[in-house]
Each structure stands twice: as structure tokens, then as C-alpha cells.
Structure 1
Amino acid sequence: MTETPGGLILPGGSEYKPAYDLRVHHAVYSRGDVLVWLTWNQNTKRPVMILTPKMDKIDQERVIPCIIPLERAWAWAEETGDEDDVMVNAVMFCANLGFNPYNRANPMKIIKIVRDHMGDLLAIPPCPRDHHSVVAEMVVTNNDTGSERHIEVKDHA
């Protein structure tokens, strides 16, 4: 067992890696007070849609992301999903996003947002192998031998 910086103990000594990193995303859409993130699960590399409240700065301590994996997209579709199940999930999403879940208009708004972006989720490309973009290149010269080494400086995309 291994203890992580946050105190989480993992079996087998594996290093903790968050499943979702919103800095790495395919697209972000603003829908009123909701942000729709199209991204990938960083552990499985599978596409997901994540809903978060729209804020100037998202505080990881306060946000409970509402996650729809590609494998569960069918459950939200009108043609294949169970309306009762969709409504239960939409009510929970409302509570997590800071909307009144007892106002029937709010869960319906969430359902509409998810269904409007379902095609975007289905069209998301495979997870890129390298999430960093090159922002500079350095040439390091060994003063003793004169040999040069080229190094790329990368920034998180």
C-alpha cells in the first residue's frame, strides 16, 4: 500500500492519477450557467462529457463534476434511454451544479444541454498521446566538448 500526498492509500504501490483533467479537453461550450467539457478519462482514454457550473475560476474543492462517459451516452438519448432514469440523473446533476432540483425546469434544462451536445461527444477524436504543446526550443551546448543538445520546452495545453 502506498500513501499519496492527499493521504489516499492505493493498493500495489500505484501512483494516484486523477481521472479527469479539465486542462486537457477537446472542446468547451458555454450554455448559460453551465460549462460543457468534452474531454477524456485520463486513465481509460475514453471520451466523456463533463458538466460544471460556469465560474470565473473553478475551485476543485467546491465543484462536483457531472460526468457522462461515452459508454453511457445511449441512456440520455430520447430513442434509447429510460426517461425516468434520465430525470433522476438530471435532478442529481442539478443539485451538483447548484440549481434547484425541485424546479422541474432545471432538470429539463440539463437534459436539453446533454442531448444538444450528444453528437459532439460521439464525434470526439481519440485521446491525444501528448497533452503538452511545445512553446520553446532550447539548444544546450556543452562548453567542454562543444556538443549540442536540443530540448523542447512544453506547456500544458
Structure 2
Amino acid sequence: MQYGLDRQIVERERLHMTIGKLAVQHPIPLPDMVDHVEQAFTGHNFPGCEIVLDRLSGGMLESSDRLSGLHHLHGELSGVLDSKGLGIVNKSFHPHLSLSYASYRGISIVPRIVWHATEMILIESLHGRHLHRPLRKWGLARDQIAPVPKQLEIWNA
């Protein structure tokens, strides 16, 4: 999957879609933060959603559609986390899949990539070291769309 990019594409293990970075009002130890998120999500059945990427813009795969299911999921997660005093940093949401962190110009249409997100993962991101530690996973509710199992990641800043 090069899409005409002539520079380094990120390693397959690092491909992800970030739905939000956790905002914690007071610094707390990581295990406590993970427990707070677990408690906040208890009893919630977050929806799975279809993701369609079909446009390359500056080294990122994006969708030419709004991805209403993904925006709905983002809104639900944000609301639940806000109600528990956690929240998501920067409420604006621009879903994309980063293929390269090199600078590119232009937009081009690419063959559609479609999947159904069936899980989300809370990740500790060790910035500058390109390391990501999965901390917890949650299943997303499946709807009538035949799913192709993939994952959706929540990154911990």
C-alpha cells in the first residue's frame, strides 16, 4: 500500500486511527487512570461503526464522507468521559490514518478501504520513542453490517 508515496510509510504495527486523547484534570498514576476509564465505560455498549477511507491528503488517508458512525462514537465516548471528570483533549475530530509523517502536498482519490471497527483500545503512547502499550480493550457493538474485524484505538497522551 504505497499510494504513490515516495517516502517511508509507517510500520504496519503503528497504523491506527486515534479517536481522542484523554484529558485528566489532575495528574494521577497510570493504573488509577486506567481504572477510572474502566469504571466510566462500565455499563455502556458503545456502537461499532463502518470506516471508509478513499482520499490521500498529505500522507494521511481520509474519507470523502463524514463518517457519521465514527463521529457518533467519538461523541458518546466524549460524553461518558466528561461525565466522569476525564474527557477528551480537543473536541474537534478529524478522523484519518497517518501513512507517513513526511511532508506531502496535494489530495488524490485512492481505492476505497472499508472496514467495520469492532473494538477500541486504550493505549499509552510513549512520545518520541514510537512505542505504544495497550492498556485495556473494549468490544464495540456490532450492527447489521458484516464486520471485517479491525480495531479502533484511543490514545493516552
TM-score by length of 2: 0.23
Q: Which of the pair is proportionally richer in strand? A: 2
With a CA cutoff of 8 Å and minimum separation of 6, indicate the structure with the bigger relative contact order.
2
TM score, norm. by length of structure 1 = 0.23
Higher helix fraction (1 or 2): 1
